[in-house]
């Protein structure tokens, strides 16, 4: 990795004491030495995936010894540290894979050496939260993989074909895009100000979809299906619907009573939900409102029918 222009500083902020830059360096043209802070879901899978892609993951910082050792078993040769600042002496590109709420505080405990770069993996925060760690000749950025990190090996596999939003100065962006490509992913740059919306959509697609699945399984249980049974039965319908949306567009993929104005069916559903799965009612209602609006917008639902359905949805069951 090319080093960024250096300017002496020290970690105590005494600019009259030039800093010796003890951190290790890659050779020009080689991938940067990578250090990861946080051996949680993202840090561990990303570290292992980069290692398997041939990138030099040289260090990890985690306050938890068991997580640190698990990381090191997946990334042989990486040095383990309990404290994040120790990583600064080992790596050139430091990745903060810690909870969103911890990033800014942690950045305040780090001060980069000239030539180093710091990125975080948050989908909602901008690179600017890393400003406290910045010094002259350093760069900050973000590297957000659109991957659901539920299981390490499944997440490593999922980097292939995933989208990774990258952010930072031009030189850093080039390295981050190369890193995404090495993982088999596609790097994208988001329009300024759009990150929270992009991430909210991701949260609906991953966590929101799991919440929907959970409600589906709860109703499936009332019909005598266990979780695997529900996944088998309704999973097929979900895949078919996704296929329809991809082939025909989202609006054209909408099916069901809300497209027909079947008020009686809606009433029966609401009664069954109230009796058998009351916790799923708000989700059903919210989805039904959206379905009615979609059906109206494509002209398949008369305004009077839409109005009757909306009235029914607003009534206590
Ligand atoms: N989960 C996802 O699907 C996903 C997807 C894309 C991006 N992300 C982003 O990736 C980042 C990490 O998420 P994650 O799911 O990997 O979280 P996680 O599994 O909870 O792991 C977080 C790691 O950070 C460390 N940590 C926690 N609090 C800390 C603190 N106050 N100071 C320093 N270290 C702390 C943890 O503790 P130890 O030091 O004890 O090990 C752990 O190793 C977040 O910014 C998240 O938004 C997550």
DSSP character at residue 161: T
Give me the number of domains the chain comprises. 2
Q: Choose the final residue of a domain: 190, 217, 252.
A: 190
Please tell me whether residues 45 and 95 are part of one structural domain. Answer: yes
Please tell me whether residues 184 and 124 are part of one structural domain. Answer: yes
Please tell me whether residues 181 and 39 are part of one structural domain. Answer: yes
DSSP bridge partners of 35: 59, 94
Give 157: exposed, middle or buried? Use CB within 10 Å, 0-12, 13-18, 19+: middle
Please tell me whether residues 140 and 241 are part of one structural domain. Answer: no
The answer to whether 266 and 309 have CB atoms below 8 angstroms apart is: yes
Please tell me whether residues 180 and 232 are part of one structural domain. Answer: no
Please tell me whether residues 206 and 266 are part of one structural domain. Answer: yes
The answer to whether 281 and 272 have CB atoms below 8 angstroms apart is: no
Place of tokens 């600042």: 85
Please tell me whether residues 65 and 182 are part of one structural domain. Answer: yes
As given in the structure block, the two tokens for residue 114 are 């000239």
10 part of a folded domain = no
pLDDT in tens, 77-132: 999 999 999 999 999 999 999 999 999 999 999 999 999 999 999 999 999 999 99
Please tell me whether residues 121 and 258 are part of one structural domain. Answer: no
What is the arithmetic mean of pLDDT over 136-163?
A: 97
Which CATH number characterizes residue 121's domain? 3.40.50.720
Question: Residue 187 Cα, ligand 1 centroid: separation in angstroms?
Answer: 21
- The H-assigned helical ranges of the chain are 41-52, 65-74, 100-108, 152-158, 170-182, 195-203, 209-222, 227-248, 250-253, 257-260, 263-276, 281-297, 303-314
pLDDT > 60? residue 166: yes
Question: How far apart, in whole angstroms, are the C-alpha atoms of residue 204 and residue 211?
Answer: 9
Residue 63 CB–ligand 1 contact under 6 Å: yes
Please tell me whether residues 110 and 151 are part of one structural domain. Answer: yes
Strand 34-37 to 79-81 pairing? unpaired
CB proximity list for 254: less than 8 A, separation 6 or greater = 291, 294, 295, 298
pLDDT in tens, 19-56: 445 578 888 888 999 999 999 999 999 999 999 999 99
For residue 5, what pLDDT is reported? 35
Q: Which range marks the domain in which residue 154 is found? A: 34-190
**Helix, strand, or coil here: 139?**
strand
pTM for the full predicted model: 0.90
42 part of a folded domain = yes
The answer to whether 269 and 284 have CB atoms below 8 angstroms apart is: yes
Atom of ligand 1 nearest to the CA of 147: 5
Residue 284 CB–ligand 1 contact under 6 Å: no
301 part of a folded domain = yes
Q: Choose the final residue of a domain: 190, 211, 243.
A: 190
Closest CA to 304 of 263, 251, 270: 263
Report the nearest-CA residue for atom 20 of ligand 1: 40
Residue 9 CB–ligand 1 contact under 6 Å: no
5 part of a folded domain = no
Q: What are the angstrom distances between the C-alpha of 204 and each of 210, 279, 290, 315, 317?
A: 9, 18, 14, 27, 27
Q: Choose the final residue of a domain: 174, 190, 206.
A: 190
Please tell me whether residues 137 and 258 are part of one structural domain. Answer: no
CB proximity list for 207: less than 8 A, separation 6 or greater = none
Instruction: Return the best residue to mutate from 97, 119, 130 for the ligand 1 pocket (most ligand atoms within 8 A of CB).
Output: 97
Residue 119 CB–ligand 1 contact under 6 Å: no
Residue 158 CB–ligand 1 contact under 6 Å: no
pLDDT in tens, 84-98: 999 999 999 999 999
């Amino acid at each position: 990795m090319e080093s960024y222009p250096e300017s002496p500083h020290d970690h105590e902020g005494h600019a009259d004491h030039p800093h010796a830059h003890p951190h290790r360096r890659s050779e020009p043209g080689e991938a940067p030495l990578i250090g990861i802070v946080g051996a949680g879901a993202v840090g561990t899978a990303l570290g292992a995936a980069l290692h398997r892609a041939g990138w030099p993951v040289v260090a990890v910082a985690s306050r938890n010894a068991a997580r640190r050792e698990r990381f090191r078993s997946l990334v042989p040769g990486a040095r383990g540290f309990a404290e994040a600042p120790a990583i600064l002496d080992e790596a050139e590109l430091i990745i903060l894979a810690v909870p969103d709420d911890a990033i800014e505080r942690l950045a305040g405990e780090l001060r980069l050496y000239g030539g180093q770069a710091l990125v975080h993996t948050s989908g909602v925060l901008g690179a600017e939260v890393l400003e406290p760690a910045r010094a002259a000749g350093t760069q900050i950025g973000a590297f957000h993989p659109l991957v659901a990190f539920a299981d390490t090996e499944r997440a490593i596999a999922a980097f292939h074909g995933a989208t990774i939003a990258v952010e930072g100065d031009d030189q850093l962006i080039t390295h981050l895009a190369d890193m995404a490509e090495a993982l088999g992913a596609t790097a994208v740059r988001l329009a300024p100000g759009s990150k929270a919306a992009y991430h909210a959509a991701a949260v609906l697609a991953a966590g929101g979809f799991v919440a929907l699945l959970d409600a589906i399984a709860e109703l499936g249980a009332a019909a005598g299906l266990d979780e695997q049974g529900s996944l088998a039965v309704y999973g097929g319908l979900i895949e078919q619907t996704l296929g329809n949306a991809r082939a025909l567009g989202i609006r054209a993929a909408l099916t069901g009573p809300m497209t027909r104005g079947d008020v009686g069916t809606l009433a029966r559903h609401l009664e069954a939900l109230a009796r058998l799965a009351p916790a799923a009612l708000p989700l059903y209602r919210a989805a039904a409102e959206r379905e009615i609006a979609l059906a109206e917008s494509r002209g398949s639902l008369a305004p009077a029918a839409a109005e009757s359905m909306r009235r029914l949805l607003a009534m206590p069951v």
